[in-house]
Amino acid sequence: MNKYSVFVENIKPIDYKKYEFVSSREKLVVYTIKYLRENNIPLSWNYIVISAFRLFPEKFYFSEEFKTYPHIEMLNRTILHLRPKERNYATGSTRIKYELTKFGEEIARQVEEEIKLGINKQSLVKDKIMDDHKAEPNIEFKKLKNSEIYKKFVEGSFKNMDLWIYYGVTPYSQIEKIKNKIKETKTIAIEKNDKTITLLLNEFTKILN
């Protein structure tokens, strides 16, 4: 075991209350990359995956039955979402070391601030939840409109598996959660009279039923 492995093995988890309101797993991985870099750990796929689990076990454990193991598939999917063509948080691959983009650097800084401040006071949380509840459907609509899955649908190359990739879940899991997102997004699509998005969401619903 080399010195980098020893460091990663000894990472202590961050108190869940300090990061439970960070809005995405991708942001937690971005913070992980920054954390490793500042500790002079090579930014390889292996070190990032295990370190993210070490730092944020409540977000990256395998299952309720096996909470002491990382969910490698989920972590890999999350890392793929960092790419420039998706979130534009980082560049890299399993063969090339990862680097944060300028946007990723800013996201990492914001997450670090949230963790340091431990933003979990009920009043702040309540306000954030209310704001997110109002904004989320419109954000989801814009995200879908600019997504690869939308492009595939328009081009006629859409496949059922694309739905699960888009929502970042294992096939046929979290169906109710996805249905709620579809319903909210469809409301926005109808308001905007966007027939293509509406048709795509209808296709999503067929797959889920």
pLDDT of 135 reads 54
pLDDT of 121 reads 44
- Exposed/middle/buried for 177, CB within 10 Å: 0-12, 13-18, 19+? exposed
Q: For residue 70, which phi and psi values (nearest 5 degrees)?
A: -75, 150
Q: Which two tokens stand for residue 28?
A: 């937690």
pTM for the model: 0.58
Place of tokens 């409109």: 145
User: Which part of the chain has CATH 1.10.10?
Assistant: 3-117
Q: Which two tokens stand for residue 110?
A: 């914001």
State the Cα–Cα distance between residues 144 and 183, nearest whole angstrom.
13
pLDDT of 150 reads 92
Instruction: Write out the chain's pLDDT in tens, 209 residues.
Output: 799 999 999 999 999 989 988 889 999 999 999 999 999 999 999 999 999 999 999 999 999 899 999 999 999 999 999 999 899 999 999 889 999 999 999 999 999 988 888 754 444 544 554 555 445 667 888 889 889 999 999 999 999 999 988 888 888 888 888 998 899 899 888 988 999 999 999 999 999 98
pLDDT of 123 reads 46
Question: What CATH number does domain 3-117 carry, 2.40.160, 1.10.1760, 1.10.10, 3.40.50?
Answer: 1.10.10
pLDDT of 140 reads 84
- Alpha-carbon torsion, ordered 119, 125, 131, 136, to 10 deg: 80
